[in-house]
């Protein structure tokens, strides 16, 4: 019991200091650690295993839709980056530059990629010649560098890992369909695998990706009421194609410019998992991506037959789950606290009395509910309980979001709600940039998205009182 209390006390309470709670969880659960490079993190084995599961789930979805993986260079010549004006202006403050090779100054600076649109377009200009070469459905798994001023593990680091899809299409309609399809892939993944409910919508022009005609987003609400942009999909039109002279011979035998999309999800989604599902005892992992889905803890393991039976149970469960047996000499109480900290969805306890009764005790991490399970039914009951954990996490997160979403109609209501009620705010907007800037400056909220499922919650703009036609989710965000 003392060990358990010590482990819990190692984490700052959420309500006391949410930012410190987050940092404590990242470090104590051994997801990541700080490095000697400012703003960069060491992703530890447990964090790597989590990212690998996320990567594998997404990669399978991409490939099922016909996308292929490629690898682009890490460096971008300055002249290449300069070809698309809006794009380079949007990233200029965050770019890291290589100026020397060994002791020699480079004739042209090299940018350490903050994103790879320019590299893909340069490549596409060499390989796309005819409409028969389209569509090009490419994706890359890599790290990128953005020179951030303020950093926090997973949420915002100078180097982070992600995937970036870059596709080319014959028509704008096909590219728009791809943009929406990939946003739906992200939304389904978050809800079906991460148990995170999301809002799908379009970003305002102020918030869209540099160089894009339209940016679509999925927005999730964290435990403290702040929003987290969890995945984006961009429609570029033919702007990049024209800038990089990507042309092909069309079906009518004329030269044409293809239409481009880009879409990405990064290790920031790990931050979303932590802040959506975690509690004062640590992580709570969604079962689909948890590195360990079931931990088997032998109780009174010094007694004859306990370890053998635990090993047998572990071997059986490997057919239906990612399972680990902890036969270390730490006390059961220490182990319980350790795997609560790491967020393992199910803990299976097995002692001499359980073995006598041909049963075990299974404890859910999300609500600590205990279930007596017959050892004869393990292969069917464990998957059922894992699904129950997923469903419980999703419903809890959805209920929290709904209880922390407010509707306002006036500027004073907006300010009061933003100041006193953490969460998302629904309000009408006239579409004027000046109003969007005023809401950010005076109410402290940014536009999160214009949801696809529009609902008129008033007739006039929450800021200026003019007629409004768009409902927008506003809020404070990471």
178 phi/psi in degrees, rounded to 5: -65, -45
Q: Is the peptide bond before 139 cis (omega within 30 degrees of 0)?
A: no
Task: Tell me the percentage of the chain whose pLDDT exceeds 70.
Answer: 98
As to burial, measured by CB atoms within 10 angstroms (0-12 exposed, 13-18 middle, 19+ buried), residue 398 is middle
Q: How confident is the model at residue 307 (pLDDT cuts 50, 70, 90)?
A: very high
pLDDT score of 41 more than 70: yes
Position 296 pLDDT exceeds 60: yes
CA distance 184 to 192: 12
Residue 6 pLDDT level (bands cut at 50, 70, 90)? very low
Write the class of the CATH domain 2-277.
alpha beta
Q: What would the DSSP string read from start to end of 226-295?
A: -EEEEEEEEEEETHHHHHTT--EE-TTSSEE--EEEEEEEETHHHHHHHHHH-BTTB----TTT-S-SEE
Can you say how many angstroms the Cα of residue 244 is from the centroid of all Cα atoms in its chain? 31
- For residue 354, give Cα distances in angstroms to 246, 348, 371: 68, 11, 12
pLDDT-derived band at 87, boundaries 50, 70, 90 = confident
* β partners of residue 372: 361
Residues in the chain: 478
Q: What is the pLDDT of residue 9?
A: 55
Q: For residue 2, what pLDDT band results from cuts at 50, 70 and 90?
A: very low
Domain boundaries, the chain: 2-277, 294-388, 405-475
pLDDT in tens, 330-352: 999 999 999 999 999 999 999 99
What number of other Cβ atoms are within 10 A of residue 43's Cβ? 21
Closest by CA to 221, choosing from 423, 447, 418, is: 423
Residues 349-369 have pLDDT tens digits of 999 999 999 999 999 999 999
| Beta carbons within 10 angstroms of residue 277's beta carbon | 24
Superfamily per CATH, domain 405-475: C-terminal domain of ProRS (3.30.110.30)
- Tell me the whole-structure pTM to 2 decimals: 0.94
Does residue 155 carry a pLDDT above 90?
Answer: yes
Summarize pLDDT for 59-73 with one digit per residue, the tens.
999 999 999 999 999
3-state SS, 433-470, equals: HHHHHHHHHHHCCEEEEEECCCCCCCCECCCCCCECCE
Q: Do domains 2-277 and 294-388 have the same CATH topology?
A: no
Q: What pLDDT, on a 0 to 100 scale, did the predictor assign at position 3?
A: 43
> Strand, coil or helix: what is 57?
helix
Q: Give the span between the Cα atoms of 257 and 243, in whole angstroms.
A: 10
* DSSP secondary structure code for residue 332 in this structure: H
Beta bridge partners of 298: 350
SS3 (DSSP) at 417:
helix
pLDDT in tens, 114-146: 999 999 999 999 999 999 999 999 999 999 999
Q: What is the pLDDT of residue 269?
A: 98
Distance CA 226, CA 476 (A): 5
Q: Are strands 323-325 and 294-298 parallel, antiparallel or unpaired?
A: parallel
What DSSP state is assigned to residue 322?
A: -
Q: Residue 215 corresponds to which tokens in the numbers above?
A: 């940016």
Tokens of 101: 């090779």
Q: Is the pLDDT of residue 91 over 80?
A: no
Q: Backbone phi, then psi, for 438, in 5-degree steps? A: -65, -40
User: For the domain bounded by 294-388, which CATH number is listed?
Assistant: 3.40.50.800
157-210 residue pLDDT tens: 999 999 999 999 999 999 999 999 999 999 999 999 999 999 999 999 999 998
Least reliable range by pLDDT among 6-15, 221-230, 258-267, 277-286: 6-15
The whole-number pLDDT of residue 1 equals 35
Q: How many CA atoms lie within 13 A of 179 on its CB side?
A: 26
């Amino acid at each position: 019991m003392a060990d358990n209390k010590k482990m819990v006390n190692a984490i700052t309470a959420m309500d006391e200091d949410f930012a410190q709670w987050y940092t404590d969880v990242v470090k104590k659960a051994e997801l990541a650690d700080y490095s000697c490079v400012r703003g960069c993190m060491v992703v530890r084995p447990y964090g790597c295993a989590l990212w690998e599961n996320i990567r594998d789930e997404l990669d399978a979805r991409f490939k099922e839709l016909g996308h292929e993986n490629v690898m682009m260079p890490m460096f971008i010549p300055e002249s290449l980056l300069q070809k698309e004006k809006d794009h380079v202006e949007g990233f200029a403050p965050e770019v890291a530059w290589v100026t020397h090779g060994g002791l020699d100054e480079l004739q042209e600076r090299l940018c350490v990629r903050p994103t790879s649109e320019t590299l893909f377009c340069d490549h596409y200009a060499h390989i796309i010649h005819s409409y028969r070469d389209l569509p090009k459905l490419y994706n890359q798994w890599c790290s990128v560098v953005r020179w951030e001023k303020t950093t926090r593990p997973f949420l915002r680091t100078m180097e982070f890992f992600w995937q970036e899809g870059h596709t080319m299409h014959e028509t704008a309609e096909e590219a728009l369909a791809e943009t929406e399809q990939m946003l739906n892939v992200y939304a389904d993944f978050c809800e079906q695998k991460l148990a995170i409910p999301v809002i799908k919508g379009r970003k305002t022009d102020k918030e869209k990706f540099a160089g894009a005609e339209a940016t679509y987003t999925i927005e999730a609400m964290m435990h403290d009421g702040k929003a987290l942009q969890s995945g984006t999909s961009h429609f570029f039109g033919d702007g990049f194609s024209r800038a990089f002279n990507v042309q092909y011979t069309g079906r009518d035998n004329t030269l044409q410019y293809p239409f481009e999309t880009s879409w990405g999800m990064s290790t920031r989604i790990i931050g979303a998992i932590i802040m959506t599902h975690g509690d004062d005892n640590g992580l709570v992992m969604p079962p689909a991506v948890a590195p360990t889905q079931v931990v088997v803890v032998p109780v009174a393991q010094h007694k004859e037959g306990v370890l053998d039976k635990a090993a047998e149970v572990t071997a059986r469960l490997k057919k239906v789950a990612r399972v680990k047996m902890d036969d270390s000499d730490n006390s059961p109480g220490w182990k319980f606290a350790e795997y609560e900290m790491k967020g393992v969805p199910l803990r299976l306890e097995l002692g001499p009395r359980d073995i006598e009764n041909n049963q075990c005790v299974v404890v859910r991490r999300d609500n600590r509910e205990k279930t007596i399970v017959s050892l004869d039914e393990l292969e069917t009951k464990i998957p059922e309980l894992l699904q129950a954990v997923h469903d419980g996490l999703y419903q809890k997160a959805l209920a929290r979001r709904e209880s922390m979403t407010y509707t306002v109609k006036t500027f004073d209501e907006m300010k009061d709600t933003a100041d006193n009620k953490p969460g998302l705010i629904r309000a009408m907007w006239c579409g004027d940039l000046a109003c969007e800037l005023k809401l950010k400056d005076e109410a402290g909220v940014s536009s999160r998205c214009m949801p696809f499922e529009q609902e008129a919650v008033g007739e006039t703009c929450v800021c200026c009182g003019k007629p409004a036609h768009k409902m927008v989710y506003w809020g404070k965000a990471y």
